[in-house]
Copies of this chain bind each other. A is one copy, B any other.
Amino acid sequence: MTGTGTRLHDELIVIDALQAGGDWAPEIIRDIHEGGLTAVHVAPLVWEGPREAIADLARWQRRFASHPDRIVPALCAQDIEAAKRNGRTAIIYGSQNGSVFEDDLDLVWVLHRLGMRIVQLTYNNQNYIGSGCGEQSDDGLSRFGRLVVTEMDRVGMLIDLSHVGERTSLDAIAHSKNPVAVTHANPTRWFVHRRNKSDEVLRALAERGGVVGLTPYPEFAGEVLTTKRWAELVARTVEIVGVDHVGIGTDMARGWADFAGHVRWVRAGRWMHPDESAPESLYPPFPDWLGAAAKFGNVTEALVENGFSRSETAAIMGGNWMRLFGQVLRRDAV
């Protein structure tokens, strides 16, 4: 590979639209910062409720105070632009599950005020809001779910459909006055998986101005992608939704000291009793060329070397997310 992509990488606003994680230790903060990421959506919560969400938001507040030379909170798109100018990485905080709202509409404002900016309406399972991609059937947004969508629009919080069921996703796209996101999933047309998205969902999302973040995570990519195959996945998705609606959301898992225990929590939470004697089903490793956020330059390079123009690469690496964030995220709720 030449250095062309790497230099372009340094110029661009580069956004990873989802990294999962537990404890964001100083070495992980360093990794995302030195990898040249302008912004990362960090999404450590999967089954947690409001109390745990509040504790984690406060923990991040202390991290910002501890690493002012590396990270800043992103409360709106302007914060990400400022981070780029100042050589920092902007942290967009999200929850992978609307469980953080319990059945209390006020918690949307509360968590927004504390810095939460992206929420997946459901996480695989049904909750108060709607249904998840792991359920056998999906009746769409609940009464409460429709109010949550309206309230997220009002306060300026991005709706994420990554782990949401098909019908609930289509309902949310139709009901929201704002464009919405799938921060980390691939098209079903590329690889059939319950976490991947149908053409119908992707096209409805794109028609309303939304963005889908593609992931090289092997379980959703169907293979351990080479950089060339990665570029093919991007190209195939662009064919479905257009180049203005594709971004990246790696789904990297960060800071899981008890890795197997964390995978068990992500998959089973407390809503089921997992079979502790079963062999561990691990989170498969990422391709070598994206083994750390510090290798993120390879993602840019893969696009440049496989026929994407400079402007297309800029849109996919972060420009599309910036447009979406600019439309949706508000520093202060109105």
User: Which A residues fall within an 8 A CB radius of B?
Assistant: 50-51, 54-55, 57-59, 61-62, 104, 106-107, 109-110, 113-114
Q: How far does the alpha carbon of A110 sit from the alpha carbon of B113 in the complex, in Å?
A: 9
Q: CB-CB < 8 A to A54: which residues of B?
A: 50, 54, 106-107, 110
Asked if residues B114 and A58 are in contact (CB atoms below 8 Å), the reply is no
Closest chain B CB from A175 CB (angstroms): 22
Q: CB-CB < 8 A to A106: which residues of B?
A: 54-55, 58-59, 61-62
A selection of 18 A-B contacts at a CB cut-off of 8 Å is: A50-B54, A51-B51, A54-B106, A54-B107, A55-B104, A55-B106, A57-B110, A58-B107, A58-B109, A58-B110, A59-B106, A61-B106, A61-B109, A62-B106, A110-B114, A113-B113, A113-B114, A114-B114
Q: CB-CB < 8 A to A55: which residues of B?
A: 104, 106
Given contacts A58-B109, A58-B110, 16 further A-B contacts (CB under 8 A): A51-B51, A54-B106, A54-B107, A54-B110, A55-B104, A55-B106, A57-B110, A58-B106, A58-B107, A59-B106, A61-B106, A62-B106, A110-B114, A113-B113, A113-B114, A114-B114
Q: How far does the alpha carbon of A62 sit from the alpha carbon of B62 in the complex, in Å?
A: 29
Q: How far does the alpha carbon of A329 sit from the alpha carbon of B80 in the complex, in Å?
A: 29
Q: How far does the alpha carbon of A110 sit from the alpha carbon of B104 in the complex, in Å?
A: 18
